[in-house]
Amino acid sequence: MLINNDRGQSTDLVDLVKALERSVTPMGLRFQDIYHSYADTSALRGITLEAKDGEILCLLGRSGCGKSTLLNLAAGILPVQAGSIALGGTPLASQQHNPPPEKRSVGLVFQDSALFPHLTVAQNIGFGLRDRPSRQAVVNDLLEQIGLSGLGERFPHTLSGGQQQRVAVARALAPAPQVLLMDEPFASIDISLRRQLREETRRLVKARDCATILVTHDPEEALEIADRIAVMEEGRITQCGTGRELHAEPASLFVGLMAGSGAVLSATRMNGIAKTRFGRFEAQDLSFFTPPRNDEPVDILIRPHCAALQNDPSGLRITDVRHTGRSQIVTLDDMDSDSLLLELDPEPVWFPGDRVLIRTNGKPWPAFTC
């Protein structure tokens, strides 16, 4: 049934038109077939990726995989060598067109906050609003949102590291950019404050409608703050999805480790049996994401709390046990004294010297061809 609004339009029809408009008009920040090199070193190899309006997208990967390079291309710090970047459906940068950072509707937050030391907190936040009549109101509103009301006349060096980074985020958001770019923003913050700062930043950013891209090498950080995660390896996007999707169906061993950590067992599969130095495992114990052939080496990922131990007098020897309260971290040695660390449930309690076999605890372990 169609219901007319005040202007005589059907609300169902209005909603449909808006949905169609969104579907045909690309929004957010989009990278299309991006390549980039430093001298003879290839940093990015055909990156196509989109951060949607209102979304926090994390680029997750080891140092040197190309995360910061991609961010710097969007910011205008580096010129686009090949491919293109669009913002809100409008071309932003390409090989032929590379506007400087100040000509882009982009907010930047760096690892070290990069605040202007000679400006007050309020002046830092309002730096991009110099000529706006609403400047003071915007600054005061942001000071309140980051919990620093009354500290506007202080200088950056009088603030803690966490407070400085809050100011850096507020400064980047003050001009209402279409996209916010954050490069390892919490790496220099004391570990005890990182989670709180991540939560505050997510709340602050999600209150806007800008696309946000955050670079990190910390899987926990990505899983806690991001709507979607793009895992990068050697200049490529290995997989992009929600934390739940990456955990449930990782495209590679690296993605599996990034989305949930764990111990890795090297194995050879023969007639449905995976043979490792720490035991033999049946096919039903494993979940292969790429079908292996006989004699083909595979890597088995044993995630925390996904294994159980069984007493066996001729089994592996436990050499160390640590109790965290939430789990036991058990070290096992094989006959050649190679070690394997497993994170297990806190019960039953194991002790150094126990002899055991490794078993699944009901869920198959992810396995990948090498």
pLDDT digits (tens, 9 = 90+) for 177-211: 999 999 999 888 888 888 999 999 999 999 988 99
Q: How many C-beta atoms lie closer than 10 Å to residue 356's C-beta?
A: 19
CATH of domain 27-256: 3.40.50.300
* DSSP-derived pairing of the beta strands 339-344 and 297-302: unpaired
Would you say the CATH fold of 264-369 matches that of 27-256?
A: no
| Residue 22 pLDDT | 45
* DSSP-derived pairing of the beta strands 56-60 and 228-233: parallel
pTM: predicted TM-score of the whole model, two decimal places? 0.86
| Average pLDDT estimate for 4-15 | 50
Domain boundaries along the sequence of the chain: 27-256, 264-369
| Residue 336 pLDDT | 76
Q: Strand order of the sheet with strand 90-94? A: 41-51, 29-38, 82-87, 90-94
Q: How many C-beta atoms lie closer than 10 Å to residue 1's C-beta?
A: 4
Query: What are the structure tokens assigned to 211, written together?
Result: 């696309």
219 pLDDT higher than 90: yes
| Residue 164 pLDDT | 93
Q: Percent of the chain, pLDDT > 90? A: 71
The C-alpha atoms of residue 72 and residue 36 are separated, in whole angstroms, by 11
Q: How many C-beta atoms lie closer than 10 Å to residue 81's C-beta?
A: 15
264-369 is a CATH 1.10.600.10 domain: no
The C-alpha atoms of residue 193 and residue 213 are separated, in whole angstroms, by 21
- Give the containing element (helix H, strand E) for 33: strand 29-38
Query: What are the structure tokens assigned to 25, written together?
Result: 């008009």
